Amino acid sequence: MGWKLLQKLSSKLTFITLLCTFLLIQSRVRENNQIEKCNYYINVIHYEDKESSSNRILEINDKRIRTVNGITDNFWIRNKKILKSGESIILIPKEYYNEEKNSLNILDESLLTIENNASISSSGNTMTMGKKKVLAIRANAIDTSTSMDIKTTENRIFGKKNSLKSQYMKCSSKQLKLSPYKGISKTGVAIQNGVGEITININVKGKRSDYVDDAMVDAASKKYGNLSAQFDHVIFCMPPGTGDWLAYANINSWKSVYNDKWCDNLSTLQHEIGHNLNLGHSGEGNSAYGYYMYGDESCPMGFGSYNTHLSEDGIDRPRCFNGAKSWQLGW
């Protein structure tokens, strides 16, 4: 074999080795660059005897991330104008997410990117118009169960009178129809009249609501498949025993959660679904009330929803949204 041929072969070999190394590195980089999509939401929680509070939360595959480490205040301040509840997705390197522990450990926050997508309901139209698919879920735990049975839940949420559906039909001049989901879920489970039932293998009494929330979302996702992809609104009626909160919801989102009997309260349902439709509180700043945030008595997003929840005759008398809110909803 001639010297030149050997040289040629050797340089080819070097080239191939280099190419392989390059491709290997590339695939490693791609592997490391795999991203997790976190949905960004503002969660508003309401209590019986104190003001509501809001927190920012992140969800991956419909599940709220339990602990988030390594995102500085600076990140939230810097991106304050970009981040929008229900529209923003934070892209996070996959290795920062521990699914088992349900935690995020951000080692380098400069690797996080934010994408904004205008919210479109899973029915394909805007959030506040048209027919929506709604699923309410009650749960049986080891030590207790949601007080309302399936039939009561069905009536309160979808009944002809005094229901969440009838109230929104009235307030939107029939433009928003919160319809019970009827059909077969992605996992092949039949859902009748928009109410589902799950079993959670935990004790609820004395536990934190977010712990029970986790268990409910897990069980519901396992039974029905991805929730946000199939339903416009999922209403979780949590079994009793987790403290003095009433209800909470994510702004511009599919999810609202009720502390047992509050799932049977029309004003509360209307208020939380209002948050799902991207509404904030009404009448903020009216100091005539202890509840500064809810100063507007005329609106279910204000004080109106709390002083009417059960009048003397025991009938809930909810109101329709004020002018500003109706304008925001496009009604």
Query: Where does this chain bind Zn ion (CB under 5 A)?
Result: 44
Q: Which is nearer to Zn ion, 133 or 233 (CB)?
A: 233
CB of 54 to Zn ion, least distance (A): 9
CB of 20 to Zn ion, least distance (A): 58
Q: Which is nearer to Zn ion, 42 or 198 (CB)?
A: 42
Extract the tokens encoding 287.
Answer: 């100091």
Q: What is the CA radius of gyration of the chain?
A: 25
Q: How far apart are CA 158 and CA 178, in angstroms?
A: 8
CB of 278 to Zn ion, least distance (A): 12
Q: Which is nearer to Zn ion, 230 or 265 (CB)?
A: 265
CB of 66 to Zn ion, least distance (A): 23
- 8 A C-beta contact, residue 248 and residue 256: yes
Reduced to 3 states (helix: H, G, I; strand: E, B; else coil), residue 102 is coil
| Burial state string for 188-225 with b = 16 or more CB within 10 A and e = fewer than 16 | eeebebbbbbbebebebeebebbebbbbbbebbbebbe
Q: Which is nearer to Zn ion, 194 or 304 (CB)?
A: 304
Q: Which is nearer to Zn ion, 44 or 320 (CB)?
A: 44
CB of 153 to Zn ion, least distance (A): 21
Q: Which is nearer to Zn ion, 46 or 133 (CB)?
A: 46
Q: How far apart are CA 95 and CA 104, in angstroms?
A: 9
Residue 59 exposure: Cα atoms within 13 Å on the Cβ side: 27
**DSSP string for residues in 209-260:** HHHHHHHHHHHHHHHHS-HHHH-SEEEEEEPS-S-SEEEEEETTSSEEEEEG
CB of 64 to Zn ion, least distance (A): 18
Residue nearest to Zn ion (CB): 44
